[in-house]
Structure 1
Amino acid sequence: MKILVKTSILGLALIVSSIVFAQDNKANNIDNSNIALQGYSPVSYLDLGLAQIGNKNFKSEYNKVYYYFTSAAQKTTFDKNPAKYMPEFGGFCAFGIYAGAKFRVDPNKFIVEDGKYYLYLNNVELDAKQLWLAENNHNKLKKVADKNWEKLSKTHN
């Protein structure tokens, strides 16, 4: 498994140019619209274990970033405790953060672990969620990713 992970990290580095992007808000995976999670509901991820696209009619702002929800009830739930619903690593790919880089994610590729949710890159070349799961040691990967995030949350790309 360790060889697979090391090879995969190298693969991540090789495809960086097609995935990495610049942004003003360094610690959040957002585009110029300031909409988090590509419009998916953070409440759906954490409370339901589902990737559900939100509705712009049910929108909240937290730390200058907008979050969409599937219903007024979800919006109310979020507004009571928004910090609880923040994605790990600002919504960047958890495996990418583990590898030392920020990557866009596929909002349908995620896991919920210990009351938090983690998003992952998925494209024709790489399924980062499967790489994370293949390592079979969430706590070890998270520990390395947490350390890397201390630096990466302050940098562009």
Structure 2
Amino acid sequence: MKRFALAVAATAAFAFPALAGPQYVDGTGFAVSGYDVVAYRDLQQAAVGQMQPQGAKGRADITAEYNGATWAFSSEENRDKFLENPAYYAPQYDGHCAYGVSKGGKVPGNPNLWRIVEDKLYLNITRNVVGFWEEDIPGNINRAEGNWPGIEPDAASTNVIPNFTSDAPVTN
């Protein structure tokens, strides 16, 4: 009977996604400032130390709901891909700056300061922070993973992204 109960508990754990903390949403009212998180997978990633290409803005009329936030997409195809596996496409740490999480806090993530590492999307807050992040990406991820369980339940950041100008997603 005990084995049966453990088997049921394990099955239930895999059947239901873990609850995430509050998603960072800025003044645009969209997760990731209205940028299409699926589109990052099609961008050519720059070498460490080089600026990444800008992300693709989503459209206000192509959206999905996930983790308590509205996400915008540049195409219906990208929205459908997202809906098939939102945890795969959503940035780590609920859209907060990965380096900030490695230091134990929640600050906004800038959608144009991104990197995909081991098939996961990470955002950072400023170009200077990207430099610190890139000095030891594996170590920073390891520290962030250790810090995240303790800060995930905290409220999402209410800060704005410094030096970032974002219009709401494109309306067509």
Task: Identify whether the pair has TM-score above 0.5, normalized to the shorter chain.
Answer: yes
Change (3 A) 1:106 1:33: closer
State the match for 2:22 in structure 1: 27
Structure having the larger proportion of residues in helix: 1
Give 1:42's aligned residue. Answer: 37
| Structure 1 runs not aligned, ≥5 long | 1-24
Q: Greater CA radius of gyration, 1 or 2? A: 2
Q: Secondary structure at the match of 1:56?
A: strand
SS in 1 for 2:147: helix
Paired residue total: 128
Point out where structure 2 has 5 or more consecutive residues left out of the alignment.
Answer: 1-19, 45-53, 158-172
Structure 1 stretches of at least 4 aligned residues deviating more than 4 Å after TM superposition: none
Superposed CA offset, 1:55-112 (max 9, x none): 0111011132111001111111111211211211111000000111111122100111
State yes or no: 1:76 paired with 2:76.
Answer: no
Q: Percent identity?
A: 27
C-alpha separation in 2, matches of 1:63 and 1:102: 16
**What's the TM-score, normalizing by structure 1?**
0.73
Q: CA RMSD in A?
A: 2.1
Counterparts of 2:128 and 2:41, CA distance in 1: 21
In the superposition, the TM-score normalised over structure 2's length comes to 0.67
Contact 2:62 2:79 (8 Å CA) reproduced = yes
Distance 1:111 1:152, change over 3 A: same
**2:94 maps to what in 1?**
90
